[in-house]
Amino acid sequence: MYNFNISQEATLLTTGMSALKTTISNYEKGNIIDITDTTNINFLKTLSTPGSYSSCAATGFTSDSWIPSTAQNPSYIPCTVSGGNAVSTSCTSSFTTRGGSCNGCMDTTSVLSSYTAKASLLSDLNSRYSGCTNFNNDLSNTWDNYYKIKKNSFSPITTRVNTAEASVTTYANTITSTIQPTFTNAINALKAASATVTDPQYGLVAGLNCKLIGEDIQRTFDTFCQSLFTVTFFTRLVMGLTSFGILFSLCCGVCTGIRFMKQ
């Protein structure tokens, strides 16, 4: 009870909740793969490889690699071009014209997160990659059938996770502020109660020493045996002397009686 650490238990709760939230977030952001069939994985790899669309001659197309996330761990759809990582903040005003830092390894989940309709996305892709009909159609269809569906599915999950995290945090704070003082008070009460027995100066067993008690018992036993022997010895001596005195008195009484009888 004394070693039970409420603060550590509370930390385990909040740490576990944080790890759970991070894992769910990684699935949502595409950092962790959430599909297992080879066909769809290979299709995502095709989108990440500009060489798969050799007919596309748009400026800068071969320098872009559209992957689910730039923070994959481990990497399951690798970036096939050299260059920086482009996320939503990199493409706020230059997505359609492919300017600034909105190029290189394209974080599809992040860059396309603001889109809500396939038509608007396809229109912007046609502006960015003019003439790349096959790629633009494939990416917009993938967004509509995969990225958009996943985003809509994770939205309520994220809300519930945030609610759960708030509840766990409240619970952790509550047990820390209530149970810890309760344990402390209980421990202090037990220590005070035990002190009435074990305190070396004022406790019930103050000065208690089993060795000394054993020696005292042995001394008491020796004293009793010695006293008993002494009493028995002197009792026998006194009884012997008394017997001789009684015998002498009896002899004298008999002799006196005979004398008076003869007279």
Domain presence at residue 240: yes
- Is residue 167 domain-shared with residue 261, that is, in the same domain? no
Q: Between 213 and 12, whose confidence is greater?
A: 12
- Is residue 158 domain-shared with residue 102, that is, in the same domain? yes
Indicate the pLDDT class of residue 212, thresholds 50, 70 and 90.
low
pLDDT at 255 over 60: yes
**Residue finishing a domain among 172, 194, 227:** 172
- Is residue 46 domain-shared with residue 166, that is, in the same domain? yes
Give the pLDDT of residue 98. 73
Domain presence at residue 152: yes
Domain presence at residue 187: no
Which long-range CB contacts under 8 A does 93-98 form with residues at least 24 apart?
95/124, 95/128, 96/124, 96/127, 96/128, 97/127, 97/128, 98/59, 98/60, 98/64, 98/128
- Is residue 48 domain-shared with residue 113, that is, in the same domain? yes
Q: Mind listing the pLDDT tens digit for each residue in 24-66?
A: 999 999 999 999 899 999 999 999 999 999 999 999 999 999 9
- Is residue 31 domain-shared with residue 137, that is, in the same domain? yes
SS3 label, residue 105 = strand
- Is residue 121 domain-shared with residue 246, that is, in the same domain? no
Q: Which domain holds residue 31?
A: 6-172
**Which amino acid is present at 69?**
S
Domain presence at residue 53: yes
- Is residue 51 domain-shared with residue 131, that is, in the same domain? yes
- pTM for the model stands at 0.66
Per-residue b or e along 127-154, where b marks 16 or more CB atoms closer than 10 Å to that residue's CB: ebbeebeebbebbbebbbebbbebbeeb
**Residue finishing a domain among 172, 202, 232:** 172
Give the pLDDT of residue 194. 73
- Is residue 135 domain-shared with residue 37, that is, in the same domain? yes
Give the pLDDT of residue 77. 95
Indicate the pLDDT class of residue 126, thresholds 50, 70 and 90.
very high
Domain presence at residue 34: yes
Indicate the pLDDT class of residue 156, thresholds 50, 70 and 90.
very high
> How many Cα neighbours within 13 Å face the side chain of 126?
8
Give the pLDDT of residue 233. 67
Across the chain, mean pLDDT equals 85
Q: Mind listing the pLDDT tens digit for each residue in 87-111?
A: 999 887 778 877 788 999 999 999 9
- Is residue 100 domain-shared with residue 223, that is, in the same domain? no
- Is residue 233 domain-shared with residue 132, that is, in the same domain? no
Q: Cis peptide before 200, with omega less than 30 degrees from 0? A: no
Number of domains in the chain: 2
**Residue finishing a domain among 120, 146, 172:** 172
83: left (phi over 0), alpha (psi -120 to 50) or beta: left
Domain presence at residue 79: yes
Domain presence at residue 196: no
- Is residue 137 domain-shared with residue 37, that is, in the same domain? yes
- Is residue 40 domain-shared with residue 150, that is, in the same domain? yes
Indicate the pLDDT class of residue 203, thresholds 50, 70 and 90.
low
